[in-house]
Amino acid sequence: MKMRAVSAQVLLLLLLLELVRARDCTGSSRCTGSSRRYTPDWPSLDSRPLPAWFDEAKFGVFIHWGVFSVPAWGSEWFWWHWEAEKLPAYQNFMKENYPPDFSYADFGPQFTAHFFHPDSWADLFEASGAKYVVLTTKHHEGFTNWPSPVSWNWNSKDVGPHRDLVGELGTAIRKRNIRYGLYHSLLEWFHPLYLRDKKNDFKTQYFVRAKIMPELYDLVNRYKPDLIWSDGEWEGPDTYWNSTDFLSWLYNDSPVKDVVVVNDRWGKNCSCHHGGYYNCQDKFKPETLPDHKWEMCTSIDKMSWGYRRDMMITDVASEYSIISELVQTVSLGGNYLLNIGPTKDGLIVPIFQERLLAVGKWLSINGEAIYASKPWRVQFEKNETSVWYTSKGSTVYAIFLHWPESGILSLESPIATSTTQITMLGIQNDLKWSTNPGEGLLVYLPHLPPAAVPTEFAWTLRLTGVK
Ligand SMILES: *[C@@H]1O[C@H](CO)[C@@H](O)[C@H](O)[C@H]1NC(C)=O
Ligand SMILES: *[C@@H]1O[C@H](CO)[C@@H](O)[C@H](O)[C@H]1NC(C)=O
Ligand SMILES: *[C@@H]1O[C@H](CO)[C@@H](O)[C@H](O)[C@H]1NC(C)=O
């Protein structure tokens, strides 16, 4: 009797589990569970629904850090400009500042990361409102920020920091419930095996077999990333990189198969066509709503992704331009990935801290209109106030970048109903409004002393009961 009761309970439980699983997978775009297998070709891989966390996150911080942070001059492409392109500015820089036979590898030991405290970085990123962080595990120079077993004497354990930078940052990031993404460059400018494959017109795969595949699998198994931000794909075709084989393993059998998100840089001509979400080109900014999830990556230092000592204040994006770009990106369905370059000793300079904290302060008031929002049926109205819309269920958010001189904001697109209510995020009271035939909705903005205005620019109206 007792036995039978127990097994009935077990049966019921199994039945319930099966029902939950089935519901997760029927028709909805949530079906990323183990039941589905992907084959190593683009039609199959492209059909995988993007794990939901990515679209909800909206804002991430990008970090370019490596041996290029040692010369910290020009840009993270230093080595290429100096020794492949032989640009006079870079040759002179070396002549004037380093001994004659100084090689790029000699920068390695100076990449000390001496003041790198992953928890203070992570505190800053959390305060910036970022929901994901993407770190360069290896840029085109080939130096790995983790103890890669196939990057002999050119990794952060053997040379420079003598630390596992990728692992340490990951631990700090995850303590704060921020998603962790790994940037990885497929190509390495000067790797002998890569140069050999390139000479063979990418008909051989010595480099992919010896370096790329072992490292990609190692990164995934070791650090269980939420995101792989692939780059350096543009010279070889995806068949050379074996991208579809790797991605089918990643989606079917890897330890992160249900959560991992990838971008679109998996081989020549892949970007903007295949993969997970689309980056298209760097700093890509569409004018109208794309029909595929995308991300804009951009850098606070407009001239470089890596830290450079010759950065001038006029090269630094303003708070206003960063926040308006974030708003525009989210309104058009994108994510905004904002880059900083730490110094060789692991510091984030105050101007970058200030910009990140400004985003965080703005999001602490206006985040409701950003995180987990969806594009509305209209994305923007461009006139002197520049209004960008987002939505959440039936709530519409109108973010306006300029305060109209009249104190009356005119919104063309929302249609008022008898239940329409309008508030401004960061302010208690409802706002007065009226409809004006031909002029849409007129919203009477509050008269406030400057100190009581919730943010310096880009204010959000929450509209309910509108169509
Ligand atoms: C690429 O994938 C093919 C087919 O799965 C496999 O035969 C080949 O060994 C792989 N090459 C590398 C370098 O991993
Ligand atoms: C790849 O793109 C380049 C330039 O965008 C184009 O010339 C070339 O034909 C494309 N190759 C393939 C295989 O689509
Ligand atoms: C914005 O433009 C629309 C027409 O495109 C106009 O009706 C509205 O009055 C303008 N708003 C302001 C504040 O000028």
Residue 58 in tokens: 């909206």
Q: How far is the CA of 410 from the centre of ligand 3 (A)?
A: 6
Q: What's the pLDDT score for residue 7?
A: 54
The mean pLDDT value for 433-442 works out to: 84
The mean pLDDT value for 410-439 works out to: 91
Q: Are 286 and 330 in contact (CB under 8 A)?
A: no
Which ligand has the nearest atom to the CA of 406?
A: 3
Q: How many CB atoms lie within 10 A of CB 405?
A: 8
Tens-place pLDDT, residues 37-60: 999 999 999 999 999 999 999 999
Going by their DSSP bridges, the two strands 132-138 and 59-63 should be labelled as parallel
Over 70: is that where the pLDDT of 10 sits? Answer: no
The mean pLDDT value for 111-131 works out to: 98
Q: pLDDT band for 439, please (50, 70, 90 cuts).
A: low
Compute φ and ψ for 28, nearest 5 degrees: -75, 165
Q: What's the pLDDT score for residue 440?
A: 84
The residue written with tokens 């990515």 in the block is 54
Residue 436 vs residue 452, higher pLDDT: 452
Closest-lying ligand 3 atom to the alpha carbon of residue 440: 7
Nearest-CA residue for ligand 3 atom 3 is: 412
Q: Which amino acid is it at 281? A: Q
DSSP for 266-307, please give it.
Answer: SSTTTTTTSSSSB--STT---SS--SS-EEEEEESBTT-SS-
Domains and CATH numbers, the chain: 42-367 (3.20.20.80), 380-466 (2.60.40.1180)
Tens-place pLDDT, residues 203-240: 999 999 999 999 999 999 999 999 999 999 999 999 99
The mean pLDDT value for 387-410 works out to: 96
Q: What's the pLDDT score for residue 382?
A: 80
Compute φ and ψ for 75, nearest 5 degrees: -170, 180
Say what the alpha-carbon torsion angle 287, 293, 298, 304 is, to the nearest 10 degrees.
Answer: -120
Q: How far is the CA of 165 from the centre of ligand 2 (A)?
A: 37
Contacts of 385 (CB under 8 A, 6+ apart): 400, 401, 402, 403, 404, 409, 410
Tens-place pLDDT, residues 269-322: 899 999 999 999 888 889 899 999 999 999 999 999 999 999 999 999 999 999
Give the residue, out of 381, 386, 442, 459, with the most ligand 3 atoms within 8 A of its beta carbon, to mutate for a pocket test.
381
Q: How far is the CA of 467 from the centre of ligand 3 (A)?
A: 18
The mean pLDDT value for 318-333 works out to: 97
Min mean pLDDT across 210-219, 254-263, 284-293, 390-399 is at 284-293
Closest-lying ligand 1 atom to the alpha carbon of residue 209: 13
Q: What's the pLDDT score for residue 34?
A: 54
Which ligand has the nearest atom to the CA of 384?
A: 3
Binding pocket residue ranges, ligand 3, CB within 6 Å:
381, 383-385, 404, 410, 412, 439
Q: What percent of the chain has pLDDT over 70?
A: 92
Q: What's the pLDDT score for residue 258?
A: 97
Tens-place pLDDT, residues 334-368: 999 999 999 999 999 999 999 999 999 999 999 99
pTM score: 0.90
Which ligand has the nearest atom to the CA of 234?
A: 2
Nearest-CA residue for ligand 1 atom 4 is: 245
The mean pLDDT value for 105-124 works out to: 98
Give the separation between CA 395 and CA 3, rounded to whole angstroms: 53
Q: How far is the CA of 408 from the centre of ligand 3 (A)?
A: 11
Q: How far is the CA of 242 from the centre of ligand 1 (A)?
A: 6
Tens-place pLDDT, residues 125-152: 999 999 999 999 999 999 999 999 999 9
* Mean pLDDT score across all residues of the chain: 93
Over 90: is that where the pLDDT of 106 sits? Answer: yes
Contacts of 423 (CB under 8 A, 6+ apart): 429, 430, 431, 461, 462
Q: pLDDT band for 436, please (50, 70, 90 cuts).
A: confident
Greatest mean pLDDT range, 7-11, 271-275, 434-438: 271-275
Q: How far is the CA of 267 from the centre of ligand 2 (A)?
A: 11
